[in-house]
Copies of this chain bind each other. A is one copy, B any other.
Amino acid sequence: MELMIPLVSRAGEPLYEQIYEYIKKEIKEGGLKAQTRLPSTRILAENLKVSRSTTQLAYDQLASEGYIEAVPCKGYYVARIDGLVDVGGQGETVSLVQEREEERESWIVDFSPRGIDLDSFPFHTWRKLSRNTLIDDNKEMFLSGDRQGEKALRKAIGDYLHSARGVLCREDQIIVGAGSEYLLMLLNLLLDPAGSVAMENPSYSQAYRVITGLGRKVIPVKMDAQGMRPDALEETGAGTAYIMPSHQYPTGIVMPVRRRQELLAWAGRKAGRYLIEDDYDSEFRYKGKPVPALQGMDTGEKVIYLGTFSKSIAPAIRISYMVLPDPLLEEYRKKAGFYASTVSRIDQNILYRFLVDGFYERHLNRMRAIYRAKHDRLIGELKRLEKDFFIRGEYAGLHLLLTARDKRPEEVLVRQAKEKGIRVYGLSSWLIGSEEMPQEWKYTVALGYANLSEQEIEKGVRLLEQAWIV
């Protein structure tokens, strides 16, 4: 094909730009169709009586903006431009945020158990700490840091865990990582490759997916009202049990001390047995005195403690941590000690200052009050449903459960709610493996409230009442 491009000598408008503009227009308006081969830069230069560097410049510009594609050893082809954004122009200035907004479904009220309230996030403080970290051309912040996470940050996390959760550890037992999925990947390298993992059912299905995805067998274990049953666990032959003693997700069961001791005893009976304690939302508790972490009761180096700042600060900061017992710490040093940290040193420093300057504690106190108010409001509103529903799991965390007294299955509850524009979550979405839903959870849905206003909570429950009762 030949391109006849009318070139004019104009001050301030280089020839290559005229070629570029012409071809771009042709492509946009469909005159040049996708996959059309363009003349080589040499041929085009000869035809237009311009230098080859001029045509090359025009093609480079077009290629860099995605209008044409260079296929090595073949030449230039018109690219498919469906939805191509004009990189040079204004099209690209939309912020990253808008994208997500559009993705959301339109519910009147979404009782998502995964949300958190960010309205009270201390943006000002975070900004200030971020600024201070970057100030003075703080060069060191941009160099590689400690592989386990910055030592001072680990110490601060250890201090917090000690005072708030009764976790007993040295800072060198703590590994900081970008999210609990990554930490589970690391942990997987440390455990006996042949051992399987026992998990409560229903449970945190993301952990189930990660662990099975890594090629490890996961065995669902029955729970009773106190959590994972030790006899059922013993039967599985698993080497590791993954539990959430502070507030089981999603059932909300708080494991009593007695049961914890039984599980520790299970771990103690054989070398190489471990308990993974996922303490994901232990920061929030509304009734009774705080139950310290299982880790603090462990005298046999059997507990791997997993924690995260996703719930207590924000999901997007991607900072989690695990506390390893000494035998696994040794494995870590051998098998994974060479992995570089997955968390930016700048972010680690911001978090460090947030912890040691007392902002975290203040933030937690404020969030506790906010969540408690929402929690109490939800409990208050749910009084209307009390005749027809049990409330469970309401002592801690950011969600609770409703069970239909008339044994209406969760699918019906979810569908009826949906018809009124309300989203609630059937417990089957947390089922792991191929087992059927245990009887006691068949008529149950989860309601999260963290990112709802009290008005939304009220409205949501009113609509649920209409959906389910009236």
Contacts and interface: CB of A to CB of B under 8 A. Distances in A.
Interface of A: 60, 63-66, 69-73, 85, 87, 92, 94-97, 99-101, 118-119, 121, 123, 126-127, 130-131, 134-135, 137-146, 150-153, 155, 159, 162-163, 166, 168, 178-179, 181-182, 185, 189, 193, 206, 209-210, 213-215, 257, 292, 296-297, 313-318, 335-336, 338-349, 352, 356
A142 B123 CA distance: 10
Contacts of A315: 142-144, 340
29 contacts: A65-B159, A66-B159, A66-B162, A72-B296, A72-B297, A73-B257, A92-B356, A94-B152, A95-B349, A96-B153, A96-B348, A96-B349, A96-B352, A97-B140, A100-B143, A118-B139, A118-B143, A130-B130, A130-B131, A143-B314, A145-B316, A178-B182, A178-B318, A178-B344, A193-B215, A316-B345, A316-B346, A318-B340, A342-B342
B213 A141 contact: no
Nearest to A313: B142
Given A96-B349, A145-B316, A70 B166 contact: yes
A323 to B, nearest CB: 15
B336 A318 contact: no
A337 to B, nearest CB: 10
A209 B142 contact: no
Contact of A137 (B99, B123, B339, B356): B123
A439 to B, nearest CB: 28
A318 B292 contact: no
A150 B96 CA distance: 7
A193 B193 CA distance: 15
A207 to B, nearest CB: 11
A342 B127 contact: no
A185 B152 CA distance: 28
Contacts of A95: 349
Nearest to A297: B72
Contacts of A349: 95-96
A317 B142 contact: yes
Contact of A70 (B65, B138, B189, B296): B296
What are the 9 tightest A-B residue pairs by CB atom distance, in nearest-first order? A64-B163, A142-B314, A178-B342, A316-B345, A97-B140, A123-B137, A144-B315, A178-B178, A127-B134
Contacts of A346: 316-317, 347
A181 B341 CA distance: 10
Given A72-B257, A178-B342, 18 more contacts: A63-B162, A70-B166, A96-B151, A99-B146, A99-B151, A100-B146, A121-B142, A130-B130, A141-B316, A142-B314, A143-B314, A143-B315, A178-B318, A178-B343, A181-B339, A185-B185, A210-B339, A213-B336
B344 A318 contact: yes
A66 B73 CA distance: 67
A135 B313 CA distance: 17
A344 B316 contact: yes
A41 B143 CA distance: 47
Contacts of A213: 189, 335-336
A313 to B, nearest CB: 8
B118 A85 contact: no
